[in-house]
């Protein structure tokens, strides 16, 4: 049964490639009509269902369109995508400042290269499109939450043979090119800056401590506090404020409630490290609501930077993880994959973070 499934999978992909080749070479023009699916089946010596599956998937991908009884036609933009390099941008179906920035930068880099783009915002209805692009080893830039890497999506990325680049997380150990900030160094810089300002009670605010990146950041924070303990000669509190925002709920609202509850229940931190912009803005408001002025009573430092951090009041000191460098490095890896020049030993690009001084850090009162 498995051998038959594999054979059918190969056949429908062959039909798809034959249709694509006809469009690329001009044998079927933009807005031109395809042969009927039964005729396609006869031409390619496959079953009707195999031919129909190939056409259906090209319709779902936006390359073709069905017009009722008139038949199936080539979309003009679909023809354009097939005639040039296309990059699938596989992003979450929700927006954060960082996601918006990375998507904007990705689209800009593709425009510079003359590449077409196909944005897939991941949800249960679009996951099949993302999997298909990865399984067909088409170029893809993927930004997903940690748990999704343990699903079929992560498996498909491993089988993409370097044609898919992962942003903000890592699967380089199984051969998936990965681009991410040096998150451990980002937290070290944050704790170091707060310690230099005189803080010893430094709490960390994490939305999902079980995520791989959060675990690295938390471990680094704890380790650095231990280093400070050896210097000062006494034990320091390690207050981890866990938010745990449910999927599709508002992280800003949950973070506000979590940080506010921490201080109202007697939390004694004089400084907070937050791990993204939404949590940082929520923490700023929560401190005010709890009667803790920033930076007079509590200093605030965020791992991540955006225009919102500069425009907050007070403006928020940040660790800049250089999102534009993430995209530039990912595009470099994809350029190599597109030219079949990918280096299997060049699977990890770590972006060096830097401190951006603003107004939200001061000596403890």
Range 346-359 average pLDDT: 96
* Residue 104 structure tokens: 């904007």
Domain boundary among 48, 79, 110: 79
User: Which of 143-157, 170-184, 189-203, 279-293 has the lowest average pLDDT?
Assistant: 143-157
Domain count, the chain: 3
Residue 188 falls within a domain, yes or no? yes
Residue 137 falls within a domain, yes or no? yes
Domain co-membership, 146 together with 168? yes
Q: Give, to the nearest 10 degrees, the angle between helix 183-196 and helix 212-232.
A: 30
> Which residue spans within 219-298 are E strands per DSSP?
240-242, 271-274
In angstroms, rounded to a whole number, what is the distance separating the alpha carbons of residues 5 and 16? Answer: 17
- The CATH number that applies at residue 119 is 3.40.50.2300
Domain co-membership, 305 together with 190? yes
Residue 200 falls within a domain, yes or no? yes
Q: What is the domain range of residue 22?
A: 2-79
Domain co-membership, 331 together with 308? no
pLDDT tens-digit profile of 23-61?
Answer: 888 899 999 999 999 999 999 999 999 999 899 988 887
Domain co-membership, 16 together with 124? no
Domain co-membership, 49 together with 102? no
Let me know: does 74 contact 31? Beta carbons within 8 Å.
yes
Residue 356 falls within a domain, yes or no? no
With CA atoms as reference, report the closest residue to 89 among 80, 98, 75, 102: 102
Q: In what order do the strands lie in the sheet with 178-181?
A: 116-122, 86-92, 140-142, 164-167, 178-181, 348-351
Domain co-membership, 215 together with 316? yes
pLDDT tens-digit profile of 99-148?
Answer: 999 999 999 999 998 898 999 999 999 999 999 899 888 899 999 887 88
pLDDT tens-digit profile of 145-171?
Answer: 878 898 999 999 999 999 999 999 999
Chain-wide mean pLDDT for the chain? 92
With CA atoms as reference, report the closest residue to 303 among 174, 200, 217, 365: 217
Domain boundary among 79, 110, 137: 79
Residue 362 falls within a domain, yes or no? no
Question: What sign results for the dihedral spanned by CA atoms 36, 41, 42, 43?
Answer: positive
How many alpha carbons fall within 13 Å on the CB side of residue 238? 14
Helix (H) or strand (E) holding 328: helix 323-338
Domain co-membership, 141 together with 128? yes
Beta bridge partners of 355: 319
Residue 14 falls within a domain, yes or no? yes
Let me know: does 12 contact 41? Beta carbons within 8 Å.
no
Domain co-membership, 57 together with 90? no
């Amino acid at each position: 049964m498995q051998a038959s499934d594999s054979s059918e999978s190969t056949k429908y992909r062959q039909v798809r490639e034959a249709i694509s080749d006809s469009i690329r070479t001009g044998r079927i023009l933009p807005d031109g009509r395809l042969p009927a699916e039964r005729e396609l089946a006869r031409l390619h010596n496959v079953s009707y269902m195999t031919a129909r599956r190939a056409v259906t998937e090209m319709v779902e991908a936006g390359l073709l369109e069905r017009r009722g009884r008139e038949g199936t036609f080539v979309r003009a933009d679909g023809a354009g995508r097939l005639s040039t390099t296309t990059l699938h941008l596989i992003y979450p179906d929700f927006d954060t400042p960082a996601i918006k920035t990375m998507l904007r930068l990705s689209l800009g880099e593709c425009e510079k290269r003359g590449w077409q783009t196909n944005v897939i915002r991941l949800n249960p209805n679009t996951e099949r499109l993302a999997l298909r692009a990865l399984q067909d080893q088409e170029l893809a830039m993927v930004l997903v939450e940690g748990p999704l890497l343990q699903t079929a999506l992560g498996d498909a990325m491993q089988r993409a043979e370097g044609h898919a680049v992962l942003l903000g997380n890592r699967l380089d150990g199984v051969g998936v090119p990965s681009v991410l900030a040096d998150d451990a160094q980002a937290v070290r810089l944050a704790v170091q800056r707060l310690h230099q300002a005189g803080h010893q009670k430094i709490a960390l605010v994490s939305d999902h401590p079980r995520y791989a990146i959060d675990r690295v950041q938390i471990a680094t924070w704890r380790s650095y506090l231990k280093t400070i303990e050896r210097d000062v000669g006494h034990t320091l509190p390690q207050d981890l404020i866990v938010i745990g925002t449910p999927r599709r709920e508002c992280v800003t609202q949950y973070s506000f409630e979590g940080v506010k509850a921490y201080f109202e229940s007697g939390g004694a931190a004089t400084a907070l490290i937050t791990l993204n912009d939404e949590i940082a803005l929520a923490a700023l408001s929560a401190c005010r609501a709890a009667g803790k002025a920033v930076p007079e009573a509590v200093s605030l430092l965020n791992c991540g930077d955006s225009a919102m951090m500069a425009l907050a009041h007070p403006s928020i000191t940040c660790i800049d993880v250089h999102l534009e460098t993430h995209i530039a490095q990912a595009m470099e890896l994809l350029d190599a994959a597109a030219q079949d020049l990918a280096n299997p030993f060049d699977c990890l690009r770590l972006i060096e973070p830097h401190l951006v001084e603003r107004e939200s850090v001061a000596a403890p009162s």
